[in-house]
Amino acid sequence: MAGTVTEICRLAAACAPELARLDGATKNAALHAMADALLDSKGELVVANKEDVSTAEAQGTSRTLLDRLTLTPSRLEGMASGLRGVAAQDDPVGEIVAGRRRPNGLTIEEVRAPLGVIAVIYEARPNVTSDVAGLCLKSGNAAVLRGSSIALNSNVAIVDVLRSALESAGVPIDAVQLVPDASRASAEELMTAKGLVDLLVPRGGPALIGSIEDNATVPFIIDGDGNCHIYVDESADEAMATSIVVNAKTQRPSVCNALETLLVHEAKASAWLPKVLDDLATAGVEIRGDQRVIETWSRASAAAEDDWATEYLDLVLAVKVVRSLDAAVSHINEYGTANAEGIVTGDLSAARRFASEINAGSIFVNASTRFSDGAEFGYGAEIGISTQKLHARGPMGLRALTSTKFVVWGDGQIRT
Amino acid sequence: MAGTVTEICRLAAACAPELARLDGATKNAALHAMADALLDSKGELVVANKEDVSTAEAQGTSRTLLDRLTLTPSRLEGMASGLRGVAAQDDPVGEIVAGRRRPNGLTIEEVRAPLGVIAVIYEARPNVTSDVAGLCLKSGNAAVLRGSSIALNSNVAIVDVLRSALESAGVPIDAVQLVPDASRASAEELMTAKGLVDLLVPRGGPALIGSIEDNATVPFIIDGDGNCHIYVDESADEAMATSIVVNAKTQRPSVCNALETLLVHEAKASAWLPKVLDDLATAGVEIRGDQRVIETWSRASAAAEDDWATEYLDLVLAVKVVRSLDAAVSHINEYGTANAEGIVTGDLSAARRFASEINAGSIFVNASTRFSDGAEFGYGAEIGISTQKLHARGPMGLRALTSTKFVVWGDGQIRT
């Protein structure tokens, strides 16, 4: 696995045509072998991860980051089941997305094909390592993984296990490679590996995204922040609204689909809002509200302008009372990050307008934003959550890792 | 229509939400009004274009460019019928691309939505002006058009006609805007209109593409060169091969889907090749061949390494004899520009391998590469031909001008 980033990318590009031709049965067998290998190596993987976690703790790493970093037997089982979930998906390669016969007899097929080499730069979640490896293999692509330095021991151990499984399944081991040097320089080398990397997915904070936008010469898809909102409409069922808001804020606050700002229709401000804020406070959530919220619930502190734009990733919630659906839509389209946005409503017309007018990858009607997730969408896993509009938007599964090409079948047609 | 590029983009962005909400009937009525208006204004449009053509001729503009620039009544009829063809397409906005119900009862829809503001930088073909305007309107997007300076009179006249038609149909006229200053500075301002332009399609030569790759901060799709190949396989029907090769090279040599390099299996080198080269020479085509071609047909000049990488856009053809399908695939994947590539063969296995292994937007089996075109594909028109892999590949119709978002419908689901 040693070598410069460019050498790694060359090895990946060299095996890409073979990966593109693999049949689905071989790929599925390899995915199950990878899952089995993770379970068989549970003990050593947890040990390798403990080393990362101890170092991180000693460095004073935040609770949020430690939570993301930690590998438990149950998370390893989740990773294995993610790989099996990917195996259970239809093979995207060769899928005929659309097709038609033209008046001149030409038959036009739009056919899915792998992209080639997919690189992912990611933070301290070791499960991303196996998720990305599995999705890339199933979609016929080579994976180049550049994880965080604080997860390096974990990632080296996981990738070793996965590559052994690939070998046993007769798949080229260079289908999955880890960049062993988790430095800024290695990230920059990946961003500029033009002609070798067909897609780069940067999963990280604003500094990484900014650096990609400034420096990348390879195609990329932004997996950006999640400043997620839930709007509780005038017509919302109150028990449902409480359950969804508490779940979206507290079930796992450290992830990008957690709730960050609650917008409440003024009709719900007097009776319902104080109750849900009590529940959130009981769950340890700090509330920062606008003037109207503070009048209703005195334990709230005053939200500053910055709060509307902040992804806390922690037990903090910004809360604002709005006069209408329009005001909620405007606020979300101004401050949101086009990730996951939700509405709780009993009004079909409000739901349809919210779904149509909100600019986001995923829009949730009467469901927690926490479902914005490849596994929850039924993709087995995800390579990231796109917050841009081109190519893919929202949780990215297998299809986001392919391109389509037109194959036109004729019997001698010429253009006149 | 006056104003800086940024002002124009702001006007476009301001009307984008209204365009996104337009119903299909209104959009179709506007498209037919635009087509009618082009036909009603045929005389004045041809006059405006003559001014451009005369100036270009006086400047010693090439035959190729003059052909692209010239607007005839019949080309105007083609533009009108392109708009009607776009009207005849299904409305892409709101299309549910995929959907499923999850075990927890959530219903997930993947729904098409407009991108917002689409900018196109293009060369001297005035028909692009109406094609882009029509495709953007139908897909619910605002169009910002930045044509070539040598077509400025033509474009001003066309856009005036189209905007009057929009107004009469009750559609905001800022849905279609022309950048009145066709300078390098205006192109650069468009490339960097971050947050205002959702997609930029640069249709131009290597200098424009290089500038976009170096400078663009807005999302873009490369409409690149067309160094197109046809491979005549061992098993090709010879009459069909001749007809396709002559058509692809000579029917309109100035466009990107014209043939530039012919690859011939060695089994066809002795008997068939000299005959097709005679036919091509009769049609005025200059032949540049490898050693084997020159031995077979003495009028060929020797191809230099550069010839394999050249898009002539003129009556010149590079010709090479290859030993196998593999050699043809390797040559095309090395020198091709991922645009349109063809094979003439009677062998199904060869056809399937070629379709699967060639990296290109469109692959033609037993048909002329000249069909790589939005109208020929049944899209009414095209906004360009993508030579990249992400988002869209090959001729780009309405769907390429949309994004999808996930809309998830629940009845109170939370994540546990």
CB A342 within 8 A of CB A236: no
Distance in Å from the first CA to the final CA of chain B:
55
Whether residues B367 and A115 touch (CB distance < 8 A) is answered with: no
Whether residues B366 and A108 touch (CB distance < 8 A) is answered with: no
With CA atoms as reference, the chain A residue closest to B219 would be: A390
Whether residues B100 and A378 touch (CB distance < 8 A) is answered with: yes
Q: How far is CA B260 from CA A311, B308, B355, B359, in A?
A: 53, 8, 19, 17
With tokens 């080579």, the residue in question is A142
Q: Is residue A321 part of a domain?
A: yes
CB A365 within 8 A of CB A72: no
Q: Is residue B323 part of a domain?
A: yes
Given the DSSP bridges, would you call strands A228-232 and A340-344 parallel, antiparallel or unpaired?
parallel
Kindly tell me if the per-residue pLDDT of A26 is higher than 80: yes
From B162's Cα to the closest Cα of chain A, the distance in A is 27
DSSP B73: H
Whether residues B240 and A366 touch (CB distance < 8 A) is answered with: no
How far is the C-alpha of A50 from the C-alpha of A69, rounded, in Å?
A: 9
Q: Is residue A53 part of a domain?
A: yes
CB A102 within 8 A of CB B378: yes
CB A114 within 8 A of CB A24: no
Whether residues B390 and A244 touch (CB distance < 8 A) is answered with: no
Q: Is residue A14 part of a domain?
A: yes
Whether residues A362 and B406 touch (CB distance < 8 A) is answered with: yes
Q: What is the pLDDT of residues A297-352, one digit of tens each?
A: 999 999 999 999 999 999 999 999 999 999 999 999 999 999 999 999 999 999 99
* Domain total of chain A: 2
Q: What is the pLDDT of residues B45-74, one digit of tens each?
A: 999 999 999 999 999 999 878 988 999 999
Annotate A345-414 with DSSP letters as a single string.
Answer: -S-HHHHHHHHHH--SSEEEEEE-GGG-STTTTTSSS-S-EE-SSSS--EE--GGGGEEEEEEEEEEEE-
Burial label for B138, CB within 10 Å (0-12, 13-18, 19+), is buried
Q: What is the pLDDT of residues B301-323, one digit of tens each?
A: 999 999 999 999 999 999 999 99
Residue B246 sits in the same domain as residue B143: no
How far is the C-alpha of A264 from the C-alpha of A244, rounded, in Å?
A: 13
What angle do the packed helices A127-138 and A24-40 form, to 10 degrees?
A: 160
Pick from A102, A228, A414, A416 the residue to mutate for testing the B interface (most B CBs within 10 Å): A414
pLDDT of residue B414: 98
Whether residues B240 and A412 touch (CB distance < 8 A) is answered with: yes
Whether residues A367 and B247 touch (CB distance < 8 A) is answered with: no
User: B154 lies in which domain range?
Assistant: 5-224+387-409
From A291's Cα to the closest Cα of chain B, the distance in A is 29
From A55's Cα to the closest Cα of chain B, the distance in A is 30
With CA atoms as reference, the chain A residue closest to B359 would be: A405
Burial label for B156, CB within 10 Å (0-12, 13-18, 19+), is middle
Residues of A in contact with B213 (CB under 8 A): 217
Residues of B in contact with A394 (CB under 8 A): 405-406
With CA atoms as reference, the chain B residue closest to A17 would be: B357
Residue A157 sits in the same domain as residue A78: yes
Q: Is residue A385 part of a domain?
A: no
Q: Give φ, ψ of B288 to 5 degrees.
A: -120, 115
Residues of B in contact with A376 (CB under 8 A): 102, 415
Residues of A in contact with B354 (CB under 8 A): none
Q: What is the pLDDT of residues B66-125, one digit of tens each?
A: 988 999 999 999 999 999 999 999 999 999 999 999 999 999 999 999 999 999 999 888
DSSP A134: H
**Beta-carbon contacts of residue B123 (< 8 Å; ≥ 6 apart):** B65, B68, B147, B148, B151, B203, B204, B205
How far is the C-alpha of B182 from the C-alpha of B5, rounded, in Å?
A: 10
- Grouping H, G, I as helix, E, B as strand and the rest as coil, residue B288 is strand
Whether residues A243 and B412 touch (CB distance < 8 A) is answered with: yes
Residue A181 sits in the same domain as residue A219: yes
How far is the C-alpha of B103 from the C-alpha of A158, rounded, in Å?
A: 30
Full strand arrangement of the beta sheet holding A199-202: A176-178, A142-146, A117-121, A199-202
pLDDT band at B224 (very low <50, low <70, confident <90, very high): confident
Residues of A in contact with B367 (CB under 8 A): 106, 408-410, 412-414
Q: How far is CA A406 from CA A199, A212, B360, in A?
A: 20, 31, 8
pLDDT of residue B3: 54
Q: What is the pLDDT of residues B170-190, one digit of tens each?
A: 999 999 999 999 999 999 999
Residues of A in contact with B364 (CB under 8 A): 408, 410
From B383's Cα to the closest Cα of chain A, the distance in A is 15
Whether residues A370 and B251 touch (CB distance < 8 A) is answered with: no
Residues of A in contact with B348 (CB under 8 A): none
Kindly tell me if the per-residue pLDDT of A38 is higher than 90: yes
Given the DSSP bridges, would you call strands B142-146 and B176-178 parallel, antiparallel or unpaired?
parallel
Least confident of A221-225, A401-405, B19-23: A221-225
Q: Is residue A390 part of a domain?
A: no
Q: How far is CA B184 from CA A101, B121, B187, B216, in A?
A: 42, 11, 5, 13
CA angle (A339 as vertex; A333, A343 as ends), nearest 5:
65
Instruction: Give me the total of CB pairs closer than 8 Å, taking one residue from chain A and one from chain B.
Output: 183
CB A127 within 8 A of CB A155: no
With CA atoms as reference, the chain A residue closest to B406 would be: A362
**Beta-carbon contacts of residue B404 (< 8 Å; ≥ 6 apart):** A393, B97, B110, B111, B112, B113
pLDDT band at A205 (very low <50, low <70, confident <90, very high): confident
Give me the helices (H) in A22-148, please.
24-40, 42-58, 63-69, 73-87, 127-138
How many separate helices (H) and strands (E) can be counted in chain B? 15, 16
Residue A66 sits in the same domain as residue A180: yes
Residue A152 sits in the same domain as residue A34: yes
Residue type, B279: D
CA angle (A25 as vertex; A95, A20 as ends), nearest 5:
55
How far is the C-alpha of B330 from the C-alpha of B349, rounded, in Å?
A: 17
Q: Is residue B259 part of a domain?
A: yes
CA angle (B167 as vertex; B163, B169 as ends), nearest 5:
115
Mean pLDDT of B349-372: 97
Residues of B in contact with A409 (CB under 8 A): 351, 365-367
The 10 Å Cβ neighbour count of residue A277 is: 23
B12-21 burial, b for 16+ CB within 10 Å, e for fewer?
A: bbebbbebbe
Residue A97 sits in the same domain as residue A207: yes
With CA atoms as reference, the chain B residue closest to A355 would be: B407
Distance between alpha carbon A128 and the CA centroid of its chain, in Å?
A: 9
With CA atoms as reference, the chain A residue closest to B200 would be: A390
**Beta-carbon contacts of residue B149 (< 8 Å; ≥ 6 apart):** B182, B183
Q: What is the mean pLDDT of chain A?
A: 95
How far is the C-alpha of B235 from the C-alpha of B349, rounded, in Å?
A: 11
Mean pLDDT of A140-156: 97
Residue A219 sits in the same domain as residue A268: no
Residue A56 sits in the same domain as residue A153: yes
Residue B157 sits in the same domain as residue B21: yes
pLDDT of residue B2: 42
The 10 Å Cβ neighbour count of residue B121 is: 25
With CA atoms as reference, the chain A residue closest to B246 would be: A414
pLDDT of residue B386: 95
pLDDT of residue A63: 85
Of B237, B390, B408, the CB nearest to A371: B408
pLDDT of residue A3: 54
CB B245 within 8 A of CB B359: no
Residue A126 sits in the same domain as residue A265: no
CATH of the domain at A345: 3.40.309.10
Whether residues A371 and B409 touch (CB distance < 8 A) is answered with: no
- HSE at residue A248, side-chain half, CA atoms within 13 A, is 34
From B409's Cα to the closest Cα of chain A, the distance in A is 5
Q: Is residue B380 part of a domain?
A: no
Mean pLDDT of B129-151: 97
Residue A23 sits in the same domain as residue A91: yes
Of B393, B405, B414, the CB nearest to A361: B405
Residue A81 sits in the same domain as residue A208: yes
Mean pLDDT of B275-279: 98
User: What is the biggest distance separating any 2 CA atoms in chain B, rounded to whole angstroms?
Assistant: 79
Mean pLDDT of B388-395: 96
CATH of the domain at A46: 3.40.605.10
Whether residues B251 and A198 touch (CB distance < 8 A) is answered with: no
Kindly tell me if the per-residue pLDDT of A163 is higher than 80: yes
